Amino acid sequence: MSTVNIGVIGTGSISEFHLKPYASHPDARVYAVCDLNEERAKAAGAAYGAEKVYTDYRELLADSVIDAVSICTWNNTHAEISIAALHAGKHVLVEKPLCKTVEDALRVQEAVKATGKILQVGFVRRYDPNAQMLRGFADAGEFGEFYYAKASYIRRHGNPGGWFSDIERSGGGPLIDLGVHVIDLCWYMMGRPKVKSVSGNTYRKLGNRANVHNLSRYMAADYDAAKNDVEDMANALIRFVNGATLMVDVSFTLHAKQDEGIVKLYGDKGGLELDPQVTIVTEKHNTILNVQPQTDSSGFQFEKAFQSEIAHFIDCVQNNKQPLSPVEDGVEIMKILNAVYESAAEGKEIYL
């Protein structure tokens, strides 16, 4: 396959980070876009030179010119559209999370097996240049065996509203929106160990906090201050069969001094930090060293990560390769997320 003809389904804010890398990739062409909002779809199509604009994803999938699609829609539509796309003969890149439930995730996995098509889950943090660099260090044994990791993604006043705050469309709040990123990143860096159990808590104490002034924040395109039935904050302890543990906490809104992002992993030969900046901790000649790798950026490189993710997807489609973030990993992360919510609801540890 030479040029890969792409259809992008959903032209909200995240779609820009798909459309732009596709448009600049020498082997990809943005052929079609689709959105329920026709005006928004037409604007995206015009901006990126799409030949076709649709408001019904089924019509886009029926277009034989399209080889692959990016799905950038509400979480509750991911499974339905992914399955339809796979059976329509399209390769799929679906934004995280894979879907809302484990049952839907397994249905998507079955569709991948039945069709033989590629499905790549949009775990974009895996594709960040610094994450790939440190994964290479880990593969070479630099850190030994990871036995403990902790991740924190705290927003003090960052509930986006709109579909993010509507549990029917999103499936949850900061856990499924932000937590999915850092849980997957830690799990991936740890070598994707099998999960043993999950103990989690969720809190709804502060709400949307639309009353707060003098502090700007990101708002969803369909922002509605009155709609908010997702958690403000979640935390969890994830135990793995190999004895390793992961602690995570995330929030949309919290009485915290500042926003904060932390990703740290500890092994028996060394440790690493990805957020807020890349650091390697090791021992040489009976001396502990904090090493600062010299890279283009010491933190998460958002646009480069998406460029890498899109380039990897195109390579997989052209050369029939298995993606770095396959459907199986999407299923496992859904099991973890759902277990956190189940543990919080039932007040007990959940064994997987």
Q: What is the pLDDT of residues 51-98, one digit of tens each?
A: 999 999 999 999 999 999 999 999 999 999 999 999 999 999 999 999
Residue 92 bridge partners (DSSP): 69, 119
Q: What is the pLDDT of residues 112-145, one digit of tens each?
A: 999 999 999 999 999 999 999 999 999 999 999 9
Domain check: are 40 and 83 in the same one? Answer: yes
**Mean pLDDT, range 190-200, rounded to an integer:** 98
Q: How far is CA 171 from CA 77, 159, 168, in A?
A: 11, 15, 6
Domain boundary among 87, 103, 123: 123
Domain harbouring 68, CATH code: 3.40.50.720
The answer to whether residues 165 and 202 belong to one domain is: yes
Look at residues 261, 266, 271 and name the one whose alpha carbon lies nearest to residue 302: 261
Whether 326 is in a domain gets the answer: no
pLDDT of residue 190: 98
pLDDT at 285: 97
Same structural domain, 58 and 182: no
**Given this model, what pLDDT does residue 261 score?**
97
Q: Does residue 221 surpass a pLDDT of 90? A: no
User: What is the domain extent for residue 137?
Assistant: 126-305+333-351
Looking at 89, 123, 157, which one is the last position of a domain?
123
Structure confidence by residue, pLDDT tens digits, 318-341 = 999 999 999 999 999 999 999 999
pLDDT (0 to 100) of residue 153: 97
Domain boundary, last residue among 104, 123, 142: 123
Asked whether residue 217 carries a pLDDT value surpassing 90, the answer given is no
Band of pLDDT at residue 226, cut at 50, 70 and 90: confident
180-189 vs 327-346: helix axis angle to the nearest 10?
A: 120
Specify whether 167 is located in the same domain as 191: yes
Is 327 within the bounds of a domain?
no
Domains contained in the chain, number: 2
* CATH number where 218 lies: 3.30.360.10
φ, ψ of residue 24 in degrees (nearest 5): -95, -5
| pLDDT surpasses 80 at 1 | no
CA-CA distance, 295 to 210, in Å (whole number)?
A: 39
Domain identity same for 154 and 100? no
pTM of the model: 0.96
